Amino acid sequence: MTIRKTKKQDLSRVMQIYEEGRAFMRETGNPDQWTNGHPAQTLIEADIEAGNSYVCLKDDKIVAVFYFNVEEDPTYKKIDGSWPNDQPYAVIHRIARGVDGKGSGEFCIKWCCQQYPNVRIDTHKDNGPMMTLMERLGFIRCGIIWLANGDERVAFQWRSDIIPSISPSSK
């Protein structure tokens, strides 16, 4: 598998992956995350334009998509819990895999951890597969944050100084 920035011509496949991701979440007991067509195509177009959207390819086919950037996320300022540090961090958002992307979520997250030594991510409390993956990869469960619309999310952080280096395999 390989990672590259998302191109405008990838948009149709990327939106298909998000639809497959929404269906997977519903099938695995998480019907309340990414409702009403979230993430919207306009948001993904903005991510691509800003250079913060990435795709994962397997055999030259896009199998996963995610947002990655070094930035201060305003929703991470208030947490019911605590972050392990206040150092600059990268964020992973809007990660999804297609039905043919088994293992690509782990690959993408490991890739992100190779890019920056301090990584934060959050997910819905009912997103069991994602929380299991975060814990298996050594992310620390830090507490609850709130999105701009008031929805709660479980927040995680990975730190290279306390968690052994993780690298993606090229399955």
Residue 84 lies in a domain: yes
| CATH number reported for the structural domain that contains residue 140 in this entry | 3.40.630.30
Q: Which is nearest to 17 in space by CA: 59, 56, 68, 72? A: 56
Considering the domain boundaries, does residue 134 fall inside one?
Answer: yes
* Residue 123 located in a structural domain: yes
Domain contains 36: yes
Q: Is residue 41 part of a domain?
A: yes
In a domain, 49, yes or no: yes
Please report whether residue 136 resides in a domain: yes
| Domain with 43 in it | 2-159
Facing residues of 66 across strands? 54
What does the alpha-carbon distance between residue 131 and residue 160 come to, in Å, rounded to a whole number?
19
pLDDT of residue 25: 73
The alpha carbon dihedral of 134, 152, 124, 98 has a sign of negative
Q: Print pLDDT tens along the chain (171 aa).
A: 999 999 999 999 999 999 998 887 788 776 777 677 788 999 999 999 999 999 999 999 999 999 999 999 999 999 999 999 999 999 999 999 998 888 999 999 999 999 999 999 999 999 988 999 999 999 999 999 999 989 999 999 998 877 655 655 544
Residues 6+ apart with CB under 8 A from 140: 84, 156, 157, 158, 159
The answer to whether residue 168 is domain-embedded is no
Nearest CA to 105 among 139, 144, 79, 74? 139
Neighbours of 37 (CB within 10 A): 11
pLDDT number for residue 166: 62
pLDDT of residue 30: 67
- Centroid of chain to Cα 97: 10
Q: Number of folded domains in the chain?
A: 1
